[in-house]
Chains A and B, each alone.
Chain A
Amino acid sequence: MKAEDTIDSLLALVRFYRQKIDEGTLTGAEGGTYIKALLLLGLKDATIKTKHLEDMSNDPVIVNLPFDPKS
């Protein structure tokens, strides 16, 4: 298989599993395959963006600074 075809297949696989995540039907084994596919696509080199901060801010250890919005 050519390199480009491999990447196309991987991308299709990731898209398929992502759809399953959205539907809530992803099994444990499929999750493992999904992570492997992501690693092959370069998750190692992925970088944090502002949109990811929301997910990183849900840890209970984090200091809770009271947010007081102005009305």
Chain B
Amino acid sequence: MDAERAEYYAKRKSMGCANCSSFKSVDAVSRLCPPCKKHLIVHGSARIPKPLLKREINLAYHRINHHCNIAQATEVFNSWMISFASPSRNDLLRRLCYLHFIKLEASDGFPMMRFVDVLVQTLAVTIYEQDGGVLDNEKKQYQYLLGRASVCPWHRRRQSKQGTVYNKEERRDLQRKPTLFHRAFEHIFIQGGISRFLVQLNNKIKQI
């Protein structure tokens, strides 16, 4: 590291945590102290926690159940997901998709993440946003939450069945990468057709 760069990082460190103003062990790159940095990687924001979405998930489930059949869309999404997901560790988003959509099963014998879970969770996030839910706009937490809802079971809604042997640490680490969920927003929520499907669903609800 050249002297100029070192001076820049030293200056950043001396400014204290960008979130809580603490001066203890501030990370020079993110300018956050360890607790705030941990909060950022788990919640997508150093100050605002991700919502539990209990009411919203319930509401989203009923909206989907009442207004559309998802059998055909499930088939299309599943075949797309099979081509997208990959067991290779070179692409962490594809690896996480492989774990959640293909490899790991819940106690009901179905994968931990199914198309219906993606729909319910992402719709719940949009309901939360429309209802004025608090989000960290600076860190693009809305995109983070939509990306997370597209690939991960929300708040342990579905868990792997008992006795499943896999690398739990790897899965935990994969879920602690905000950039991965920002990519999931683009590659799965947008390009995977979820957002378009939700728009059509919302239009149908508006017509009634």
Contacts and interface: CB of A to CB of B under 8 A. Distances in A.
Nearest to A58: B196
Contact of A48 (B72, B76, B77, B142): B142
Given A57-B195, A65-B196, A69-B67, A50 B72 contact: no
Contacts of B193: 62-65
B191 A68 contact: no
A64 B76 contact: yes
Contacts of A1: none
A2 interface: no
B191 A53 contact: no
Contacts of A50: 126, 129-130
Interface string A29-71: 0000000000000000101111001101101011111111110
B199 A70 contact: no
Nearest to A64: B193
B191 A45 contact: no
A26 B101 CA distance: 47
B196 A66 contact: no
B134 interface: no
Contact of B200 (A45, A49, A56, A67): A67
Contact of A53 (B71, B76, B80, B198): B198
Contact of B72 (A61, A62, A68, A70): A68
A63 B138 CA distance: 29
B121 to A, nearest CB: 14
Residue with the highest number of chain A CB atoms closer than 10 Å, among B67, B71, B76, B190: B190
Contacts of A47: 135, 137, 140, 142
Interface in B185-202: 190-201
Contacts of A68: 68-73
A70 to B, nearest CB: 6
Contacts of B137: 45, 47
Given A48-B142, A57-B195, A57-B199, A66 B190 contact: no
12 contacts: A50-B126, A50-B130, A53-B198, A56-B190, A57-B199, A59-B190, A61-B191, A66-B72, A66-B73, A67-B201, A67-B204, A69-B67
Interface of B: 66-73, 76-77, 80, 126, 129-130, 135, 137-138, 140, 142-143, 190-201, 204
